[in-house]
């Protein structure tokens, strides 16, 4: 296949043509020509001229986006449909949580995930404990050398303090990253939404902020004691941002992420008992969202993830308290971030292109002649409607169906 991206704005900050309009030619997955837009590029008659910029059409090309947190559940999403969804959302690389079946806890399972890379490049997050139960460590060194990019218990917190301490010790051998989902499941037991005035009005058991914050406080003390690298995934409260900001000032080797949809709603959205708004961490209050935005702006929050959690219609179309947590996020993550985060495009790309690869120890793809293509082309100001008929995911659990979104992906190319 041969493509020419004509007169597009190049947003690769390591390129000498950064923020210049360029002609980008790709043939058989390799970048063959890259010139300023006023220099013509020779192409064959079979070349697809994909886009040409104009006053109404501000197409941009960046290094391909990477999602650090996705789950491809076999019943609601297979590896092929999950990759289609990622591709439609602009992601060329996706990290798969270990909470799949079977759990990613042996080296051959790590390799099996990477071998599924057909449309996007899949990275395995290795299971930190056997069956993600938090009681017995996996062979993380073996998983690392098989290709695991980090270690986590997926959707579950690392609740056992000695397990966390030992995992931080063991991963120092190869400078590995431990990913913690900060949630005290006992404090959140039977919880259905954020604990506050709205949960009281609706009669739901709430999920208090402290269930997240107490784990972060505990883990920071353990990290001070033992060292290592720790990443908090899916933080959601004002105090969580403050704790991580202060810990970074103290020089602790920590990082964190939020999911894009956390910025879009507050807990009051659940007044109509719509299970498509049932997520964990739950949608909280305006003060928390403002703190998350501040954390994104000042660099306290390093990464934005999709937290893609597919569920079937049968699972979601039940009484609210019986429905599982989670929504599909790969196809809407960029647009939702663009609309609700307050970040400019360069800042968003830091959160979905550069910072994730730095944390995971991955090479940075280059947009340069002779390099294998790993690019995302997008219209940052294009309005579009996300609907069930055109989505690529097999699952249908999204609160954004039928809504007008801003920022549309045009095409991804990976090798």
What are the residue numbers of the active site?
307
Q: What is the distance between the alpha carbons of residues 131 and 336, in angstroms, rounded to a whole number?
A: 33
291-323 as b/e: b if 16+ CB within 10 A: bbbbbbeeebbbbbbbbbbbbbeebbeeebeeb
Give the CA angle between residues 361, 364, 367 to the nearest 5°.
175
Q: Which residues contact 5 (CB under 8 A, 6 or more apart)?
A: 22, 23, 24, 25, 26, 50, 51, 59, 61, 377
**Residues 400 and 332 sit within 8 Å (Cβ to Cβ):** yes
Q: Which residues contact 54 (CB under 8 A, 6 or more apart)?
A: none
Distances in whole angstroms, Cα of residue 373 to Cα of each of 25, 176, 324: 10, 28, 38
Per DSSP, the chain holds a count of helices (H) and strands (E) of 12, 17
């Amino acid at each position: 296949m041969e493509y020419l991206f004509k007169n597009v704005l190049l947003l690769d900050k390591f390129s000498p043509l950064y923020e210049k309009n360029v002609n980008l030619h790709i043939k058989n997955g390799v970048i063959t020509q890259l010139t300023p837009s006023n220099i013509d590029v020779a192409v064959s008659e079979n070349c697809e001229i994909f886009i040409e910029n104009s006053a109404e059409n501000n197409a941009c090309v960046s290094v391909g986006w990477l999602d650090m947190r996705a789950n491809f559940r076999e019943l609601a999403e297979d590896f092929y449909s999950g990759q289609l969804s990622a591709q439609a959302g602009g992601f060329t690389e996706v990290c798969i949580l270990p909470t799949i079946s079977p759990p990613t806890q042996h080296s051959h399972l790590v390799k099996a995930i990477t071998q599924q890379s057909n449309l996007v490049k899949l990275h395995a997050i290795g299971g930190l404990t056997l069956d993600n139960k938090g009681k017995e460590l996996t062979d993380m060194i073996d998983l690392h050398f098989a290709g695991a990019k980090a270690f986590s218990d997926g959707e579950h917190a690392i609740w056992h303090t000695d397990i966390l301490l030992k995992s931080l010790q063991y991963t120092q051998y190869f400078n590995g990253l431990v990913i913690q989902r900060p949630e005290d499941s006992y404090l959140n037991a039977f919880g259905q939404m954020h604990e506050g005035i709205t949960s009281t009005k609706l009669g739901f058991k709430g999920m208090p902020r402290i269930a997240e914050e107490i784990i972060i406080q505990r883990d920071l003390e353990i990290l001070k004691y033992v060292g290592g690298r720790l990443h908090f995934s899916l933080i959601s409260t004002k105090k969580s941002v403050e704790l991580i900001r202060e810990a970074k000032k103290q020089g602790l080797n920590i990082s964190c992420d939020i999911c894009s949809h956390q910025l879009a709603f507050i807990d009051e959205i659940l007044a109509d008992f719509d299970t498509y708004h049932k997520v964990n961490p739950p949608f909280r209050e305006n003060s928390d969202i403002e703190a998350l935005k501040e954390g994104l702006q000042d660099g306290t929050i390093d990464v934005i993830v999709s937290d893609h959690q597919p569920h079937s219609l049968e699972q979601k179309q039940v009484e609210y308290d019986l429905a599982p947590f989670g929504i599909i996020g790969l196809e809407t993550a960029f647009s939702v971030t663009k609309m609700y985060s307050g970040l400019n495009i360069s800042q968003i790309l830091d959160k979905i292109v550069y910072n994730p690869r730095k944390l995971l120890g991955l090479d940075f793809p280059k947009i340069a002649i002779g390099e294998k293509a790993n690019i995302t082309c997008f219209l940052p100001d294009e309005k579009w409607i996300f609907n069930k008929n055109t989505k690529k995911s097999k699952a249908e659990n999204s609160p954004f169906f039928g809504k007008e979104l801003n920022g549309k992906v045009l095409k991804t190319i990976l090798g």
